[in-house]
């Protein structure tokens, strides 16, 4: 598991910013202040492994994220031209990992700094790494498999995931992130894994959305999704005739059930198109699977997501506790605060702007209502 990530000179983070990570990690706050940047720092390394087989080259565009050119990824007011990432993990071979990249081509970075567990793999020992002309130190041999293992088993569900469709193409399953970032392969994956997870997907679908059922029908090379959400419906309706939330939630449920132990799941805006009660039920599922050796990265704008995690950490029948949860808040001034959930579920260091709008609006309603006669 990744227990800490540090980001320097990448997008909004010019100076090094460190994030302590847990089993369940929630990133909340103002738009455009760096929440997605944390995701992208990890996803770029993963897509570099998919594309190149290792992290020696940094792929700015790939399977997970597309950031245009290397210079676009650099902080616009940084002090040098090197993007740096640091990580702490529970893997003995890579407990401390520091990586730096400089521009190679407009769309690619090349590794120029690497330190693993205190060993510098760009050592300046001239006999090993410099020729007589004074060339820069070169990368020494290191165990690439150890690093690949940290960034390989990633699952990513984008905020702009697929909604209701009339039909979907039946596709061959991808090795990495099989559902696709948008959930575009969700029905293909579910159809191919139906013996293993179909029943459990249906149980969670019903639990989260209440009295709901779904069915997949084959039609030559395409698949169709049919649903019902009350007992009075005599037949299931096509997904395009149901609310967006029903389709949006399906990609998340399938991804969670499909994820391997030791993997990391990134979910952007899990609350999208969901009623607060459904958001709470979805968080119940996430909290349950957090304790099954799966690490979650959640980006959200919903207080119900945060409060549900707090609530489940207090319930004795749940295995998740406050120490399993990390919350990071990004404010308007580009400051990031780690919100500490206490053992009793309360938050002592509640910062201004952290889901306090409802209280402020209620106070304004009360004040203005008293002026009306």
51 three-state secondary structure: helix
Segment holding 69, helix H or strand E: none
Domain ranges (residues) in the chain:
2-153+261-369, 170-258
CA 178 from centroid of its chain's CA atoms: 15
Distance CA 17, CA 251 (A): 31
Total Cβ atoms within 10 A of residue 253: 22
The CATH code for residues 2-153+261-369 is 3.40.50
Q: Tell me how many degrees the CA angle 284-290-291 measures, rounded to the nearest 5.
A: 105
Can you give the pLDDT of all 373 residues of the chain as single tens digits? 999 999 999 999 999 999 999 999 999 988 888 899 999 999 999 999 999 999 999 999 999 999 999 999 999 887 789 999 999 999 999 999 999 999 999 999 999 999 999 999 997 654 444 445 556 788 999 999 999 999 999 999 999 999 999 989 999 888 899 999 999 999 999 999 988 999 999 999 999 998 888 889 988 789 999 988 887 788 888 889 888 988 999 999 999 999 999 999 999 999 999 999 999 999 999 999 998 889 999 999 999 999 999 999 999 888 888 999 999 999 888 889 999 999 898 888 887 777 777 777 777 787 877 888 6
Distance CA 246, CA 205 (A): 8
How many angstroms separate the most distant Cα atoms in the chain?
A: 89
287 three-state secondary structure: helix
Strand partners, 24: 296, 325
Q: Which stretches of the chain are DSSP H helices?
A: 35-52, 70-73, 126-129, 144-152, 186-192, 194-209, 244-258, 276-290, 303-314, 357-369
Q: Beta strand 108-116 with 222-228: parallel, antiparallel or unpaired?
A: unpaired
Q: Tell me how many degrees the CA angle 337-83-112 measures, rounded to the nearest 5.
A: 140
């Amino acid at each position: 598991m990744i227990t800490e990530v540090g980001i320097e000179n990448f997008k909004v983070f010019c100076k090094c910013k460190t994030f302590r990570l847990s089993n369940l990690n929630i990133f909340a706050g103002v738009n455009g202040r760096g929440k997605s940047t944390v995701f992208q720092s990890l996803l770029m390394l993963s897509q570099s492994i998919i594309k190149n087989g290792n992290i020696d080259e940094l792929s700015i565009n790939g399977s997970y994220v597309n950031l245009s050119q290397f210079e676009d990824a650099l902080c616009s007011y940084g002090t040098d031209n090197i993007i740096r990432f640091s990580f702490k993990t529970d893997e003995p071979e890579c407990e401390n990992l520091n990586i730096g990249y400089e521009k190679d081509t407009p769309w690619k970075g090349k590794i120029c700094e690497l330190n693993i567990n205190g060993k510098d793999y760009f050592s300046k020992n001239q006999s090993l790494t410099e020729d007589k002309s004074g060339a820069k130190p070169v990368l020494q041999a290191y165990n690439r498999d150890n690093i690949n293992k940290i960034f390989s088993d990633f699952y990513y569900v984008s905020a702009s995931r697929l909604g209701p469709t009339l039909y979907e193409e039946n596709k061959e399953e991808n090795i990495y992130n099989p559902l696709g970032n948008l959930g575009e392969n969700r029905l293909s994956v579910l159809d191919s894994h139906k013996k293993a997870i179909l029943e459990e997907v249906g149980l969670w679908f019903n639990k989260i959305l209440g009295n709901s059922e779904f069915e997949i029908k084959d039609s030559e090379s395409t698949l169709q999704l049919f649903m019902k959400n009350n007992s009075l419906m005599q037949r299931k309706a096509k997904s395009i005739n149901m609310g967006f939330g029903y389709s949006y939630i399906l990609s998340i449920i399938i991804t969670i059930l499909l994820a391997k132990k030791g993997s990391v799941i990134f979910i952007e805006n899990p609350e999208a198109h969901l009623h607060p009660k459904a958001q709470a039920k979805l968080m119940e599922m996430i909290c349950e699977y957090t304790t099954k050796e799966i690490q979650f990265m959640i980006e959200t704008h919903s207080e119900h997501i945060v409060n549900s995690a707090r609530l489940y950490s207090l319930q004795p029948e749940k295995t998740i506790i406050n120490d399993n949860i990390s919350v990071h808040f990004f404010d308007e001034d580009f400051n990031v605060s780690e919100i500490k959930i206490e053992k009793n579920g309360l938050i002592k260091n509640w910062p201004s702007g952290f889901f306090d709008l409802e209280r402020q609006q209620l106070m304004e309603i009360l004040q203005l209502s008293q002026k009306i006669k």
